A and B are shown apart, each in its own frame.
Chain A
Amino acid sequence: DAKTTQPNSMESNEEEPVHLPCNHSTISGTDYIHWYRQLPSQGPEYVIHGLTSNVNNRMASLAIAEDRKSSTLILHRATLRDAAVYYCILRDESGGSNYKLTFGKGTLLTVNP
């Protein structure tokens, strides 16, 4: 799977929006963009995914650049419970039997009260 680049850490204030960036300049046409997050002392949890169009769900929004070389995870109103490590991962639909997730170090989001 193609590589992603994320900032090591970001900080936000409670109830403010948070924009978490991800660069994936080598993305291929069949790569889906997935986001997972990992709260302290828990396993990762799925947040959202998309291919070309922007996506919204109850947890977050995903904005995908027109050239697909970058994307942004948007938390509309950060809460203390959103403090976590956020991982941006590319998944290739055409990858045959390769189903594993390849995690980087992610972005550690700190939310201040």
Chain B
Amino acid sequence: DTGVSQNPRHKITKRGQNVTFRCDPISEHNRLYWYRQTLGQGPEFLTYFQNEAQLEKSRLLSDRFSAERPKGSFSTLEIQRTEQGDSAMYLCASSLGPRGEETQYFGPGTRLLVL
């Protein structure tokens, strides 16, 4: 069990550029989540997948954001035409098990800075 990994760990980009983040979940986990965390706040849910199906998207996920999980394995989160307000820590988590007792395992996050 190598845990959830995220790449890159840090990303600096200029406003208007596109960025893509990758998350590799724990191998047997069928659910994968993306959260966003800004300074001083708790993580906020963005979207989640069960296997390859994207089952829920937050209203925070504007049309500039897209997430995929091809073949139910790794996932990518792309932000198009980045804005300074997109600067945040983007966290990925994976899980397995019944809802009430489910434990989500988080990766270290990708810190995005939009200049």
Residues of A within 8 A of B (CB): 30-32, 36, 42-46, 49, 51, 85, 87, 91-93, 95, 97-106
Q: Measured between C-beta atoms, what is the minimum distance from A98 to chain B in Å? A: 7
A92 to chain B, nearest CB (A): 7
A43's partner among B48, B91, B103 (CB-CB below 8 A) is B91
* Chain B contacts for A91, CB-based, 8 A: 99-102
Interface residue B65 (Cβ < 8 Å from any Cβ of A): no
Residues of chain B touching chain A, judged by Cβ–Cβ distance below 8 Å, are: 4, 31, 33, 35, 40-45, 48, 50, 55-56, 58, 91, 93, 95, 98-109
- Once bound together, how far apart are the Cα atoms of A91 and B103, in whole Å? 10
Q: Cβ of A46 and Cβ of B104 under 8 Å apart? A: yes
List chain A residues, Cβ under 8 A from B98.
93
B91 → A minimal CB distance (Å): 5
Across the interface, do A101 and B101 meet the contact criterion of CB distance under 8 Å? no
- What residues on A are CB-neighbors of B95 within 8 Å? 99
Closest to A102 in B: B45
